[in-house]
Each structure stands twice: as structure tokens, then as C-alpha cells.
Amino acid sequence: MNRYELVFIGQMGTGTIVPFGGSPFVERASPVLFAAIAASCLGKRIAVVTKISESEEHLLKPLKAAGIDLFVQPGETYQYRVIFPTANVDQRQSFRTKVGEPFVISDIPPFERCLIHLCCMGVRKFHLDLMRALKARGFRVSVDMQGFVLQADDETGAVHPEDVPEKKEILSTADFVKLDAVEAQTLTGADVLQDQADMLEHWGSFETIITSSEGAAARSKGKTTLVKFTNRSTRGRMGRGDTFMGSYLARRLGHSIEDSLQFAAALTSIKLESAGPFRGSLEDVIARMDRSPGTL
């Protein structure tokens, strides 16, 4: 049996990013890479389960360099295009050009029970089936709701948010739930963060993380804690939520909600200042935490 503290499951990917007022560039990253690398600076035993074609195995280099153990199966790489039409980094137009094969329980190696974060993209039915199977085996499960909420048009590939009929089962099954402000509004119909957090908890979410351009909120046991980002630019907007959740979960393994929220906000603020995954050190994050205003 393989023993880890935290396992990330998701497709590798590449995307073309068109920033507002800037030149397009290629981002060789996906949710699973952003999240796992953000978590790696804390020295936990971390693994990634992913799928990739043999011709694109170079995309795994950042994960290997970060000391993350890889369980790789053959498959297609997730491909996407994201356009930011305004200076508001929460407004974007996304397109999926290739999704790749979904993950099923038979894809998962024999791990000892641990915390597993699902940052899968594609057909939502497969995500829920995988959640059910992992919980039945005794794993703690964290889920990013973007894999359920964000759906792509079959013809154009344009991504749009949709409500999720199975949302209450998903929320009550997961130990941790991650959303951004748009996804939370899509599920709840509310446009105020506090109302969103209240409704999600009422529907069964045990520990909820909601990110936005301003910062992040954590909701658990009737209490909502807020923290602001301190980034000086948004060059690295892609991967914000994945970076936040990866670092939050790794810190949360041994710390309080409040401390984990501050840690993830500091790390994500550093990442937001440059494209690509987090490249700083634990010392950089601690220093940023010391200069941050803390929770609100």
C-alpha cells in the first residue's frame, strides 16, 4: 500500500491565456499541477494521479522537481483557452478544446486512507461516482466544484456555469468543498458571500472555501472567516483557486482554519504576481504572512 498524507487527482493540461491589454501566452499547467505544487512546500508526503500521453510527459517536470510522487496513466491532455476581456480578473471567457478521459475508481492506485483532493475536469457524473467510491473506501475527500459547475458546449467548447442537481449530495459527501464566487452564486443564487456560505453549509458542506479577486473565506460550524490577498499584480491569475486550495489543505493537516486560511492567502498572493505555478519557498510564505493584515 502507498502511504501519503495528501493525494491530488486530475488531468494534466495546457492552455492559451489572453490577458486584458497583454499578449497571449501558453500556460503549461492545469488544476492538479497548480494545487499539488502549492502544497509541496510544506514537506508533506504528496502524490498526484494523472493521465497524459507519452509525447507530453515533459509537462510532468515541475511536479517531479517539487518532489511529488507521480502515478501516471496513458491518456489525453486537457486543453483550454481563456480570454480576460476586462481588467476584472474574475471576468473571463473560457473554452475547452480537449478534455481527456474521466477518472474512475479502478484508476486509483492502492493508497492507504488519506485526504484526496479531486480537481478533475469533464463529465460531472464520473466525478460524483469517484467521490462515492472513495468515501466507501474510507478516504477523506476534498472536491473543487468547478469540475461540476463549469460545463462546455459540445459544439463550440465555450464554458459556462450551470447549477448542479446533485449538489446537496456532493456537499454532504465531501470533507472539504472549494468554489469561487461565480460558482457559489450559480449553486445558491445568492450574490453575497456570507449568504452563499450559509446556504452551502445548510445543504451539508462541512468545511467550505470560497475564493474571489479580493481574497477567500472559510466556513465551518456556523463561523465564516475572511482573509484578503496582498498581491501587487495579477499576472498569475490562472490557477488562483487551485493554488489556494492545494496550500490550504496541506497546511490544514496540522493547523487551524484561521492559520491555514492566512497561509494559503499569503502563498496565493505570491503566486498571483507571476504566471505559472507557485515558485517561492516556505520562508517566502511565512514572511508574507507576517506582513499580511490577517483574517477579517
pLDDT at 296: 65
* Distance from the first to the final alpha carbon of the chain: 42
Q: Any idea where the domains of the chain sit in the sequence?
A: 6-177+227-291
Cβ-based neighbour number of residue 202 at 10 Å = 11
- Contact present, 265 and 240 (Cβ < 8 Å): no
pLDDT along the chain (296 residues), means of 10: 95 88 86 96 97 89 96 88 85 82 93 95 82 97 94 88 96 97 96 95 98 94 96 89 97 97 97 93 95 75
pTM of the shown model: 0.94
**3-state DSSP percent of the chain in helix, strand and coil, to 5:** 35, 25, 40
- Contact present, 227 and 263 (Cβ < 8 Å): no
- Contact present, 17 and 127 (Cβ < 8 Å): no
Distance of CA 189 to the CA centre of its chain: 22
What residues form DSSP beta bridges with 93? 83
Domain 6-177+227-291: CATH superfamily is Ribokinase (3.40.1190.20)
Residue 41, C-alpha cell as written in the block: 512546500
pLDDT at 154: 83
Q: Parallel, antiparallel, or unpaired: how do β-strands 25-27 and 93-98 relate?
A: unpaired
Q: Parallel, antiparallel, or unpaired: how do β-strands 69-74 and 13-18 relate?
A: unpaired
φ, ψ (nearest 5 deg) of residue 54: -60, -35
Q: How far apart are CA 262 and CA 49, in angstroms?
A: 28
φ, ψ (nearest 5 deg) of residue 156: -95, -20
pLDDT at 55: 86
Using DSSP, state whether 108 is helix, strand or coil: coil
pLDDT at 123: 66
Q: How far apart are CA 47 and CA 68, in angstroms?
A: 6
- Contact present, 210 and 185 (Cβ < 8 Å): no
What residues form DSSP beta bridges with 98? 79
pLDDT at 195: 95
